[in-house]
Structure 1
Amino acid sequence: MPDTPIAALPSTHDSHSTHSLPSRALDTEPKTRPTRSADPNVLRCESTADFLAALPVLTGFTADNSLFLVFFSGRRAGRAIRVDLPDRDDPGTMRALLDLLSERLGAVSQREGRVSGAAVVICTTTTFASARMTPHRDLAHRIERRLRRDGYRLRELCCLAPDGWASYFDDSTPATGRPLRAIAESPINRYIADDPQLRAKPITSLDALAELPSVEAGRRASIAAALDGPHLPGADEPSPLLSGPGSLTDEATVRADATRFESSFDRTDAGPPSDTVHLVRALASRERWFVLLLTALAPAAVVPDLCSGLPGNNRHHLTLDIDGEPANSPNSGWSVLRMVTNLPLEALDFDRLRQATSATADLAATVSGRWRVGPLALLALLWWLRGIHSAAERHLDRVRDAPSELGDVTHMVDRIVREYAPPGW
């Protein structure tokens, strides 16, 4: 999920080595003033309250009833993951949660070549007042014990509730929690307000992330009429545009799709209806859908070369998911699924992914019925690449049973989201 800035935080519990899971905060009341690092993209936090103030900038969103796990490399926080707070206390649910946390920390540690530290925050709607203590204390202790047993260093383990916050490592925390004003008054908030880059990154709720933007009814009607009518190519696009098997061999079609999609990334208005119609038509073809996926990952100028370099016979017959089908394809060894699930973290441009996500959400919001399947499948995959499963799953729920010629595409994306960890995890 977290594809934004980084926060540095001193360890307040260096003796604790453990585990962690979806987390969202760090610990205790401010002891010294936080400082701005020499790196303009780093916020130096001196307390848990500072870290809680900075965390929404790191993750890009807020979420209730969630566990956030923030990974550390040395003293610097990097990416974070979120999972739902367990709604029951049975052994199977707890074991799955603890296994997930330990597994994710193990994967990050293996990638970095050393044991990764982490911070865990439990964000809950349960109040200190109703619990008469720090909420979810038993869960926090289970997490701490399991991760310590597995050799992972837990820098902090905290709770953020509607009426207070606390570190589970701080025995002096009152039963009513520490006051939220310590977070609201943290100097980190001033640094964020004064930094144009940080200020430009909108913070929203997790639920709002998966909402599609509103589109004026007249625009939707005119685009629907154009999509259901005959295709009349614009002056700047090849005629006819190829779709279906073989279209990846047509450099003019590939270039037109990639260029049109990339041009929508920085657009502040809705753009001409002809552009929307062009891109929605492209997303209705599995081959041209793949071209737009490549454009979300790489500059449009190189996408034709990427297509021409596809292995085997994929330019003529694109293989989506060889692992989910009988292994009788001449393209065995390569598929779109294998390409996507083996992308290294270093290959991802998260600013570009954010732009592509916004542009694709606009397309999905503008159309309905069968025309919406392609945009929503791409949107789900982009959210998965950014590490936000909840948004990906919500978009997939909208298309799983929708009639479409893109059933194999949605099935592939569904498998990726359900069965694979995003790059870097």
Structure 2
Amino acid sequence: MTPTDRLATARHSPSREPELLRVSGLPDLLAAVPSMIGLHPEDALVVVPFLGNRAGGGFRFPIPHRLRRAEIDELAGRCERFTASISRTTGVLAIVYTRQSYETAHGIPLLDLGRTVLRRLERTDLGIVGVACVAADGWGRYTSIEETREPRPLAEIEESRTGVLARAAAPEPLDVTALAALPTVSDSDLATVEAIVRHPASGRTT
């Protein structure tokens, strides 16, 4: 992994300088990513560009439920094009977030996607900070044979002091699952809608 000493969080007040957070390794970076991009990623490829040893913000590409070769190539291509479109970018971190587990996948989940993203990034002149996977039962790097077989504990991310500081320096990341949940509809709401549908002209004025 390319050494990274500091990162700048992207979500801050325009009147303030970005918060600088010291990191000592990839788990610290992964702990800070939700605060950097403003949400807790789920089933997504997240790309974080670096300018020197600083990172600020990132981009999220949803991973489709049906992930065939065409979808894998498209996601990896988006990752490559996104980093190339940002001026002065010197490095990149790519993270696959998935609800799949090492146990059910018999190894690191979405291995083809991770390796394809890695190959596409290797075509660029950018330093690769890491290409990692955060799964339901652990995390690992696609570049490590050991970590593609056995996960590292999520506690390394969840208990990171950098993650705590990142959450304190930025608004609470949005919960994608909660945002996607439909609101509860009461019987009175249903009755109101039914009345409007049956008598659409009743509320009109002439």
Coarse TM-score class (shorter-chain normalised): 0.7 to 0.9
Change (3 A) 1:139 1:42: same
2:56 match: secondary structure: strand
In structure 1, what is the equivalent of residue 195 of structure 2? Answer: none
Do structure 1's residue 206 and structure 2's residue 176 form an aligned pair? Answer: yes
Q: How does 1:397-412 map to 2 (within 5 A)?
A: none
- Does residue 60 of structure 2 align to residue 82 of structure 1? yes
Question: Closer, same or farther in 2 for the Cα pair 1:174/1:42, shift >3 Å?
Answer: same
Q: CA deviation at 1:76?
A: 0.7
Does 1:128 find its partner at 2:102?
yes
Aligned to 1:177: 151
SS at match of 1:68: strand
5 Å-filtered alignment, 1:134-149, equals: 134-149=108-123
Q: Is the 8 A contact 1:105 1:116 kept in 2?
A: no
Alpha-carbon distance in 1 for matches of 2:70, 2:90: 26
Q: CA deviation at 1:207?
A: 3.6
State the AA in 2 paired with 1:140: G
Q: Deviations over 1:378-411 (max 9, x none)?
A: xxxxxxxxxxxxxxxxxxxxxxxxxxxxxxxxxx
Q: Relative contact order (alpha carbons < 8 A, sep ≥ 6): 1 or 2 greater?
A: 2
Q: Any idea what the Cα deviations from partners look like across 1:49-102, whole Å, max 9, x if unmatched?
A: 111211111111112111000111111112211111243443432332232222
- The one-character-per-residue Cα deviations of 1:321-373 (angstroms, maximum 9, x if unpaired) are xxxxxxxxxxxxxxxxxxxxxxxxxxxxxxxxxxxxxxxxxxxxxxxxxxxxx
**Cα contact 1:36–1:191 (8 A) shared by 2:** no
SS at match of 2:81: helix
1:107 equivalenced with 2:81 (yes/no): no
Q: Tell me the SS of whatever aligns to 2:30.
A: helix
* 1-structure distance, mates of 2:49, 2:156: 24
Contact in 2 for aligned 1:129/1:176 (Cα 8 Å): no
Q: Residue 131 of structure 2 aligns to which amino acid in structure 1?
A: L
The answer to whether the 8 A contact 2:49-2:92 is kept is yes
Count of residues in correspondence between the two structures: 184
Residue 58, structure 1, aligned to residue 42, structure 2: no
| Equivalent position amino acid for 1:149 in 2 | R
**Take 1:174 and 1:97, find their aligned partners in 2: how far apart are those partners?**
20
* Alignment partner, residue 95 of structure 1: 73
For 1:50, the aligned partner's letter is: D
Measure the CA separation in 2 of the matches of 1:81 and 1:192.
Answer: 17
SS at match of 2:147: coil
Alpha-carbon distance, 1:13 to partner: 3.7
| 1:105, distance to aligned residue in structure 2 (A) | 1.5
Q: C-alpha displacement at 1:35, in angstroms?
A: 8.3
Runs of 5+ consecutive residues of structure 1 not aligned to the other structure: 1-11, 15-25, 27-33, 215-425
Taking a change above 3 Å as real, the CA distance of residues 76 and 87 of structure 1, as seen in their structure-2 partners, is same
SS class of match (2:49): strand
Give the CA RMSD over aligned residues.
3.5
**C-alpha separation in 2, matches of 1:121 and 1:94:** 14
TM-score (norm 1): 0.38
The SS at the match of 2:153 is coil
CA gap of 1:89–1:203, structure 2 versus 1, over 3 A, is: closer
Aligned counterparts of 1:208 and 1:124: Cα–Cα separation in 2: 16
1:188 counterpart = 2:169:
no
- Which residue of 1 is the match for residue 126 of structure 2? 152
Aligned to 1:70, what secondary structure does the other structure show?
A: strand
Q: Which has the larger radius of gyration?
A: 1
Cα gap change, 1:202/1:89 in structure 2, threshold over 3 Å: closer, same or farther? closer
Q: Does the 8 A contact of 1:132 with 1:176 survive in 2?
A: no
Instruction: Tell me, yes or no, if the aligned pair for 2:6 and 2:20 is still in contact at 8 Å.
Output: no
Which string of whole-angstrom CA distances, capped at 9 and with x for unpartnered residues, describes residues 136-166 of structure 1?
Answer: 1221111111221243332110000110001
Cα deviations across residues 9-65 of structure 1 (Å, max 9, x unaligned)?
A: xxx247xxxxxxxxxxx9xxxxxxx8899x771112111211121111111111211
Distance across 1 between alignment mates of 2:42 and 2:22: 25
The one-letter code matched in structure 1 to 2:108 is T
Tell whether 2:19 aligns with 1:49. Answer: no
**TM-score, normalised relative to structure 2:** 0.73
Runs of 5+ consecutive residues of structure 2 not aligned to the other structure: 9-16, 185-206
Q: Secondary structure at the match of 1:151?
A: coil
